[in-house]
Amino acid sequence: MFVDSHCHLDRLDLTPHDGSLGRALDAARARGVQRFLAIATSLESAPDVAAIARAHADVDLSVGVHPLQEADAEPDRAAIRDAAERFGAVAIGETGLDFHYDGIPREIQRARFIAHMQAARELALPVIIHTREAREETLSLIREHLDPAVGGVLHCFTEDLEMAREAVRLGLMISFSGIVTFASASTLRDVARQVPLDRMLIETDSPFLAPVPHRGRSNEPQWVVEVAECIAAERGITVDEVAMQTRANFYRLFPGCAPEAQTANPFV
């Protein structure tokens, strides 16, 4: 029973499924994927992603503004909190820092990241964090603003073991995507071997970063299974062990996704 802890269901290429998101999700369910966390990358897209979550009982929603997302008006803490409450989000994000590209100025990214963590602290929701080429500043802002009692996840992790260990110490989980299957990702596979299994999540980040043997195609939630298979092979354990532990980790980090929480949430 797998969980895709990070996917962009509003952006999937549905051509292989006759244009049907339901069929794409059915393909994943047929492979044992039990739950999907759909990520809104802007407040403008949140209503559409929330509609997907309402239409599918096994889909949950996270609301945030990606660090590289253009915005007409910068979202403050109140706007992020309002969107999360209005749409019944189970997490805040994705948010974070990405210094690889020159799109959004760094000072704006920093302010966004802080606003997301402040909103998450007020709502007692975990934070989904994107980080690229901003290691020290990401960790510094996490130390200052993240609620360690609630925590969060470094999603689509691509950094080294030292950063992973520090993130775990700060109360975060580490999530691996299809990148871990790439031939060039031997260092990342070493991280996947050493991160404590009870602090690990798996994801697709679909439609991006399709794993081997699907690399080069538009990614799909069903291929989270390949991520689990790679990690299992690297750690010398069964795929079932990876699936069961990452599933348990997911529900521990995102308690709003648990079945008993769904019956109390009118938005999902």
> Per-residue pLDDT averaged across 186-202, rounded?
97
Each residue's pLDDT tens digit, 13-64: 999 999 999 999 999 999 999 999 999 999 999 999 999 999 999 999 999 9
CATH assignment of 2-262, given 3.20.20.140, 3.40.50.2000, 3.30.450.190, 2.40.50.140?
Answer: 3.20.20.140
CA distance 26 to 120: 32
Given phi > 0 = left and psi -120 to 50 = alpha, else beta, which region is 58? alpha
Q: What's the count of helices (H) and strands (E) in the chain, helices before strands?
A: 10, 8
Each residue's pLDDT tens digit, 236-248: 999 999 999 999 9
DSSP track, 190-246: HHHHHS-GGGEEE---TTS-PPTTSTTSPP-GGGHHHHHHHHHHHHTS-HHHHHHHH
DSSP 44: T
CA distance 31 to 264: 28
Helix (H, G, I), strand (E, B) or coil at 89: coil
CA distance 84 to 82: 5
pLDDT of residue 259: 72
- Residue 128's closest CA among 9, 250, 244? 250
Residue-averaged pLDDT of the chain = 95
Q: Write the CB contacts of 132 (distance below 8 Å, at least 6 apart in sequence).
A: 97, 98, 99, 100, 158
Cα angle for residues 216, 221, 222 (degrees, 5° grid):
90
Q: Which tokens is 236 given?
A: 């010398």
pLDDT of residue 268: 36
CA distance 224 to 207: 12
* CA-based max dimension of the chain: 49
The dihedral of CA 250, 254, 255, 261: what is its sign?
A: negative
pLDDT of residue 263: 43
89 within 8 A of 62, measured Cβ to Cβ: yes
Locate the DSSP E strands across the chain.
Answer: 2-7, 33-40, 59-63, 91-98, 127-132, 152-154, 172-176, 200-202
